[in-house]
Structure 1
Amino acid sequence: MALRPVHVNVKAVDASAVGRFWAEALGWSAYSPGVTTYVGPAGGLVRPHPVAVGIDVVPVPEPKTAAKNRVHLDLATTSPAHQAELVARLEALGATPADVGQGDVPWTVLADPEGNEFCVLEPREVYQDTGPIAAVVVDCVDPRAMARFWGEAVDWTLHEVSDYHAVLRSARGAGPYLEFLRTPGGKTVPDRVHLDLLPYPGDDKAAEAARLRALGATDLDIGQRDVPWTCLADPEGHEFCVLAPS
């Protein structure tokens, strides 16, 4: 049994507008197969995509609070000129500079039109083959504990683990990294951004959820009622969903 990270789920008051922003930001396309807006590589709606981790923008009535999201995207660039051009283009699309206490760093911190923080990285060799999303980054207290849980929860390979940083990536060596970054402070508000995980065809969602609970996940009630997915939280309280197999 195994699970695949397939979506970054983003809550937004105006899901269509936020979806359009991210489609333009990444050079992808926005698709609206239902109430959500899905952002993925151009060429037609493919869920799950064989390489990319898409963005699923879900409409909610509540706007983002002032609290920093505990999950964010890092965007890849190929040169200093590309980084500067991308930042300028994103700001023209509606992104705004964000101060999360980063100080003087070589990357640029921005927020999307509804305040979700993300980073435009300086060029780094490790991210040259990821596509536009370099990494999905999760703030945490204990990267080693997160590596133990997520290393068992999903079918991605653990590349690095220390007291400050843990890194996983698809065993195919394609697409973005999943990174856990030691960050002061714990969770204070519900997650605005979270991962959606998908079982492989033929696997049992209930059995996968039970396996995750045995690893330390807990059930989560966010008012979802009767839905075909299962809402859980990892050992540090990060929300995620196990989708029904496709």
Structure 2
Amino acid sequence: MALRPVQVNFKALDCEAVGHFWADALGWGVSSEGPGVINVEPGGGFVWPDPAALCVDVVAVPEPKTATKNRVHLDLATTSAAHQTQLVARLKALGATPADVGQGDDVPWTVLADPEGNEFCVLEPRETYRDTGPIAAVVVDCVDPRAMARFWGEATDWDVREVADDHAVLRSARGVGPYLEFLRKPEPKTVPDRVHLDLMPYPGDDRTAEVARLRGLGATDLDLGQGDVPWTCLADPEGHEFCVLGRSS
């Protein structure tokens, strides 16, 4: 048994504005599964869930962003220096603003924030991300990348590609779509994540059994006031929230 990462979930005061920003930023389409939810996913015959893309769900919440810097963010891929420059200009025109997360002036990537202050990076062209699609990676700040690689490598069906003291990298075993990267940051998590991953069982697998397996790996139950919902909220060993959705048909 293993779970598959299927989407990145953003909390937002204005899910319409944030959802449309990310749809325009990624060149994807917009739909809605219900009030207060904006679904952003590729067009061109893409059928969710598929590891070729982690879709974006933007969910309305009443609380504003409080963290100085999110501990989970997206890195966007580019194909050339010109593409990077053009993408940064286009994102600013869509409402993105420059963000200072202590990166300094000499890094080759550009740090921006979406209309509600969620930081993301527009990377310089890198061979590693040439086939990921517009999202190069989902990046998670953590204290212990090795421990995160162990947990997420066993929790999901993604392969652990690299592990070191300062970073760890996972990707779908099919070799498609974005990477999941853990970067060492000495500061521990102190507030709820504004951005998190959603996972899903494969057809035929049981969500209850998968949740029990995750608890055995070190996940803990999480009460966000979600009530009786068809998904389970958990936290990984460093407290990063994630949800296990009901399985697809």
- What TM-score does the superposition give when structure 2 sets the normalisation length? 0.97
CA displacement, residues 1-55 of structure 1 (integer Å, 9 cap, x when unaligned) = 1100001000001111111000100011111121210111014673313511000
d(CA) in 2 for partners of 1:30 and 1:17? 11
Given the alignment, which residue of 99, 119, 122 partners 2:121? Answer: 119
Is 2:18 aligned against 1:18? Answer: yes
**Partner of 2:192 in structure 1?**
190
Q: Which amino acid aligns with 2:218?
A: G
Q: Which amino acid aligns with 2:89?
A: A
Is 2:159 aligned against 1:157? Answer: yes
Given the alignment, which residue of 151, 166, 169 partners 1:167? Answer: 169
**Partner of 2:207 in structure 1?**
205
**Partner of 2:77 in structure 1?**
76
Secondary structure at the aligned position of 1:73 is classed as: strand
Q: Which amino acid aligns with 1:243?
A: L
d(CA) in 1 for partners of 2:68 and 2:239? 16
Runs of 4+ in 1 over 2 A off after TM superposition: 43-47
Equivalent positions of 1:28-47 (< 5 A) are 28-35=28-35, 36-43=37-44, 46-47=47-48
CA displacement, residues 51-105 of structure 1 (integer Å, 9 cap, x when unaligned) = 1100000000111114211000000001111000000000000000000111121
Q: What residue ranges of structure 2 are gaps of 5+ in the alignment?
A: none
Secondary structure at the aligned position of 2:33 is classed as: coil
Secondary structure at the aligned position of 1:33 is classed as: strand
d(CA) in 2 for partners of 1:207 and 1:73? 30
**Partner of 2:246 in structure 1?**
244
- What TM-score does the superposition give when structure 1 sets the normalisation length? 0.98
Q: What residue ranges of structure 1 are gaps of 5+ in the alignment?
A: none
d(CA) in 1 for partners of 2:25 and 2:47? 19
Q: How many residues align?
A: 246
Give the aligned CA root-mean-square deviation in angstroms: 1.0
Q: CA deviation at 1:191?
A: 0.6
- Percent identity reads 79
d(CA) in 1 for partners of 2:64 and 2:231? 24
d(CA) in 2 for partners of 1:50 and 1:68? 27
